[in-house]
């Protein structure tokens, strides 16, 4: 794996046959999750394709000239020309593979695939998802002497790792940095003996046979499963959102706020996350316009007071976004004033969307019993409708989604499952 500076771009990238180029940043959990995937694919495809990384913060001009506006971003080049997709955000191994395969002749791709040896590993319990719920469950399970594997497509930590400060998790007198809190939890799990399979693609999950396939070639056989896959930011679902995701539209202030130093930003939302994250973004941005659908913010009082006293933040209430566009380097939003039904436009350097969450259940939605909002139904022991499968944390049907409640769910599931082995 070669690391370059902007001055070497022409020689190392434009003058090479085939290149995969990773723009990364520090303090960027999705960049850290990408690094081991990029590294391992570099070993697999390295004879045919050059794998290069470049530190975006120190090479901003080059990044901007290539249209790279969030980290990580992977670009592909063939004989100096841009090819393939622009991959950003929580980049999946399978999307990297799709683009790498498209650069090579079919015969060569076949040879590379044949060199991968399938493996099978067995554990007592597999925990799917390494947020606070999954980490807590895995700590208890490992301490109960059950062989436990924790599987996550990202690095462990979940939503906590991208939250700048937590002030309501007991045990810390001062607010604790979310990244550090998740680091302590995952170090504790490692010390307890949990095996980590992180930054992997979860290819398939069979909850009945208790078989999980990761990265397409490793099968994990297990006796019990804990689902702790949490929730992800809910998209608005309006034109331009998909197109400009990671290219002007962000869902993670910890990852991207630092790129808006002295710039103007729009935040969509008015709940706790939108209000607290606006406060964080204002450390960098010169102006924030927060657009919210109701006539008042729905965040807690303390967060609202802080925001209303922040001179950098302006509110547009009773308005909803209708469309995102890009004009030059600017993001243009069209929003509707819900009182007058008139459409208005506003431009900015970037847009952050914080309009709630949705459960991560894609891999098992068809076999699990869900509530009417799509969250997994459990009993008081966190058991689902499938024998030997528990679910915990933000992915389950419950009233309050907090770190403490996810930790409590993880505790209950682990104790209940441990007893089921007796």
Give yes or no for residue 394 binding ligand FAD (CB under 6 A). yes
Q: Which residue's CB is nearer to ligand FAD, number 75 or number 252?
A: 252
The string of DSSP codes covering 255-307 is HHGGGGTT-EEEEE--SHHHHHHHHHHTTT-SEEEEE-SSSS--S-HHHHHHH
**Site for ligand FAD contains 355 (CB under 6 A):** no
Contact window for ligand FAD (CB under 6 A) among 110-118, 148-156, 288-296, 335-343: 148-156
Q: Any contact of residue 186 with ligand FAD (CB under 6 A)?
A: no
Does residue 12 touch ligand FAD according to CB under 6 A?
A: no
Report, in this order, helix, strand and coil percent for the chain, each rounded to 5.
Answer: 35, 30, 35
Is residue 402 a contact point for ligand FAD (CB under 6 A)? yes
Mapped onto helix, strand or coil, the DSSP state of residue 123 is strand
List the end-to-end C-alpha distance of the chain, in Å, as a whole number.
Answer: 48
**Binder of ligand FAD out of 401, 408, 416, 420 (CB under 6 A):** 401
Nearest to 421 by CA among 128, 122, 146, 138: 146
For ligand FAD, the closer CB: 134 or 350: 134
Q: Which is nearer to ligand FAD, 13 or 202 (CB)?
A: 202
**From the CB of 127, what's the least distance to ligand FAD, in Å?**
9
Quick check: 353 binds ligand FAD (CB under 6 A)? no
Q: What are phi and psi of 217, to 5 degrees?
A: -125, -5
Q: Which of residues 242-281 bind ligand FAD (CB under 6 A)?
A: 273, 277
Pick from 71, 159, 186, 250: which binds ligand FAD (CB under 6 A)? Answer: 159
Determine, following the binding rule CB under 6 A, whether residue 363 of this chain makes contact with ligand FAD: yes
Q: Does 202 bind ligand FAD (CB under 6 A)?
A: yes
Q: CA dihedral defined by 370, 372, 378, 380, rounded to 10 degrees?
A: -170
Place of tokens 């622009």: 86
Q: Is the peptide bond before 182 cis (omega within 30 degrees of 0)?
A: no
Residue 374 Ramachandran class (φ > 0 left, ψ -120 to 50 alpha, else beta) = left
Is residue 142 involved in binding ligand FAD (CB under 6 A)? Answer: no
**Least distance (Å) from ligand FAD to the CB of residue 303?**
10
Place of tokens 């070669």: 2
Question: Quick one: which of 99, 154, 222, 289 contacts ligand FAD (CB under 6 A)?
Answer: 154
Q: Which stretch binds ligand FAD (CB under 6 A): 6-14, 158-166, 216-224, 306-314?
A: 158-166
Binding part of the chain for ligand FAD, among 14-22, 323-331, 368-376, 394-402 by CB under 6 A, reads: 394-402
DSSP 138-168: HHHHHHTT--EEEEESS-TTGGGGG-SEESS
Residues 6+ apart with CB under 8 A from 119: 217, 218, 219
Provide the edge-to-edge strand list for the sheet that holds 343-348: 319-327, 330-337, 343-348
Q: How far is the CB of 90 from ligand FAD (least distance, A)?
A: 7
Between 34 and 54, whose beta carbon lies closer to ligand FAD?
A: 34
Q: Which stretch binds ligand FAD (CB under 6 A): 184-192, 224-232, 332-340, 378-386?
A: 224-232
DSSP structure class, residue 370? B
Integer-rounded Cα radius of gyration of the chain: 22
Q: Quick one: 293 or 401, whose CB is closer to ligand FAD?
A: 401
Rounded to the nearest whole angstrom, what is the least distance from the CB of residue 126 to ligand FAD in the complex?
Answer: 9
How many helices (H) does the chain have, and how many strands (E)?
A: 12, 24
Tell which positions 81-140 bind ligand FAD, by CB under 6 A. Answer: 128-134
Residue 158 binds ligand FAD (CB under 6 A):
yes
Q: Give whichever of 172 and 244 is closer to ligand FAD, judged by the CB atom.
A: 172
Closest among 388, 392, 384, 390 to 408, alpha carbons compared: 392
User: Look-up: residue for tokens 């999980």?
Assistant: 212
Pick the binder of ligand FAD from 28, 112, 151, 288 (CB under 6 A). 151
Residue 314 beta carbon to ligand FAD: minimum distance, rounded to whole angstroms = 21
Minimum CB distance to ligand FAD smaller for 264 or for 394: 394
Under rule CB under 6 A, residue 152 binds ligand FAD: yes
Contact assessment for residue 156 and residue 198, using Cβ atoms and an 8 Å cutoff: yes
Which residues contribute to the site for ligand FAD (CB under 6 A)? Answer: 128-134, 151-154, 158-160, 163, 166, 168, 202, 228-231, 273, 277, 360, 363, 393-394, 401-404, 406
């Amino acid at each position: 794996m070669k690391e370059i500076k902007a001055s070497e771009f022409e020689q190392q990238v434009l003058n090479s046959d085939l290149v995969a180029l990773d723009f990364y940043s520090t303090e960027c959990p999705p960049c850290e999750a990408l690094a081991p995937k990029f590294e391992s694919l570099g070993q697999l495809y390295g004879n045919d394709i050059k794998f290069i990384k470049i530190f975006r913060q120190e090479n901003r001009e080059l990044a901007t000239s290539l249209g790279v506006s969030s980290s990580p971003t992977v670009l592909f080049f063939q004989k100096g020309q841009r090819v393939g997709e622009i991959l950003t955000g929580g980049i999946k191994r399978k999307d990297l593979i799709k683009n790498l395969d498209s650069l090579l002749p079919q015969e060569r791709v076949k040879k590379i695939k044949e060199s991968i040896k399938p493996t099978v590993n067995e554990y007592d319990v597999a925990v799917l998802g390494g947020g606070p719920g999954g980490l807590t469950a895995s700590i208890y399970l490992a301490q109960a002497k059950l062989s436990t594997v924790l599987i996550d497509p990202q690095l462990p930590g979940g939503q906590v790792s991208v939250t700048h400060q937590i002030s309501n998790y007991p045990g810390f007198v001062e607010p604790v940095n979310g990244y550090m809190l998740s680091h302590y939890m995952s170090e504790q799990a490692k010390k307890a003996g949990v095996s980590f399979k992180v930054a992997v693609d979860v290819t398939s999950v069979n909850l009945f046979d208790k078989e999980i396939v990761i990265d397409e070639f490793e099968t994990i056989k297990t006796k019990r499963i804990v689902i702790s896959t949490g929730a992800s930011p809910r998209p608005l679902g309006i034109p331009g959102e998909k197109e400009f995701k990671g290219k002007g539209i962000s869902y993670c202030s910890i990852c991207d706020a630092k790129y808006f130093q002295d710039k103007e930003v729009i935040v969509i939302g008015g709940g706790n996350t939108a209000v607290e994250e606006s406060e964080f973004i204002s450390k960098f941005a010169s102006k924030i316009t927060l657009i919210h659908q109701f006539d008042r913010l729905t965040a807690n009082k303390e967060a609202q007071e802080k925001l209303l006293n922040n001179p950098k933040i302006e509110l547009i209430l009773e308005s909803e976004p209708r469309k995102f566009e890009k004009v030059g380097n600017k993001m243009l939003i069209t929003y509707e004033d819900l009182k007058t039904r008139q459409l208005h436009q506003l431009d900015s350097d970037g847009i952050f969307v914080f309009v709630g969450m949705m459960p991560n259940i894609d891999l098992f939605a068809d076999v699990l019993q869900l509530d009417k909002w799509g969250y997994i139904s459990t009993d008081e022991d966190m058991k689902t409708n499938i024998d030997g499968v528990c679910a915990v944390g933000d992915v389950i049907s419950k009233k309050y989604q907090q770190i403490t409640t996810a930790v409590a769910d993880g505790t209950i599931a682990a104790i209940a499952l441990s007893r089921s082995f007796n």
